[in-house]
Amino acid sequence: MNAVIAWLRDSPEPWTRYRTLVDLLGRPESDLERLAARREMITHPRVGGLVATAGEWEQRLLKRHNDAGHPLYALSTLADFGLKSDDPGMAAVIEKVMAHQAPDGPFQTLSNYPAAFGGSGRDEWLWIACDAPTLLYAMLAFGLGNDRRVRQAAAHLPGQVSENGYRCAAAAELGRFRGPGRKDDPCPIANVYALKALARLPGQAAARAAEQAAEMLLTHWEQRREKKYYLFGAGTDFQRLKYPFVWYDLLHVVDVLSRCAFVHADARFKEMLSAVTAQADADGRYTAGSMYMAWKGWSFADKKVPSPWLTCLVLRILRRVEAG
């Protein structure tokens, strides 16, 4: 383990070094090495590129929810890295996101749904269960939990859960819209996104909703050979390590579940975690099993060479479980 940590600390990726110092080594904010890694991260050209992509929020239509090159996933990756609202360029990006909020709370995304799916066939600002929670997660991660608009979005999310977790849901403007599944089925990716935001929220309502979302994900893993909800399966492709956290795959699900201490002792979670750790090489490093072409050039989108960032993410999961 010490050799892997040393490898991460020597990584050319400042986001990996920063998160290693914060999440794996517990360095305080005043630590000089942590401060240096953070300064390098926020001024790095790749991070600047993500900020620029996120800044296209009001110009880029979301045509499919697993479009890894969309600003939505630049935002969530910046949140994963640890950027904050007062970092360079972030204030303008955040205001573009929060300028579009439904009256009932969720942040909206520029979308276009045909009339056949309940939409108008025009570009319009709407929310759906597989984008609004990601925006809430990002705003919370950026340190905006006390902002009135974020509190409104946060108040909406727990109330959307059903007894079997989060189902496919969308803005009232979309009428009876839902994805390609049965009306009363839960939607796996909606539960992943919702749980990621819920894990950052205080209060009994959020805690109860988190338990229901987590149970849905654990049950799906348990029944993965028999159940496929909304076309989401948990087979071979699901188990390949992949980043950014865009869609329904093993590392994404395990990372989100690991944020909830109440699942750590669950046999189903342990089995999922074992399916992740079994993919380590002899040196304890992890390599992508799948990639998004929009992220080609990043270490986590290289299927031939171990990725410092992917390795950091897995070790962070293990550290969360160890800490309880």
What would the pLDDT profile of 17-70 be if each residue is shown by its tens digit?
A: 999 999 999 999 999 999 999 999 999 999 999 999 999 999 999 998 899 999
In the chain, where are the structural domains located? Answer: 61-206
Cα separation of 188 and 193, whole Å? 9
What would the pLDDT profile of 2-30 be if each residue is shown by its tens digit?
A: 999 999 999 999 999 999 999 999 999 99
Pick the closest to residue 187 from 161, 154, 207 (CA basis).
161
Whether 316 has a pLDDT exceeding 90, the answer reads yes
* C-alpha radius of gyration, the chain, whole number: 19
pLDDT band at 118 (very low <50, low <70, confident <90, very high): confident
Whether 176 has a pLDDT exceeding 80, the answer reads no
- The reported pTM is 0.96
Q: List the structure tokens of 212.
A: 């229901």
Q: Which residue has the tokens 């640890």?
A: 82
277, 318 Cβ separation under 8 angstroms: yes
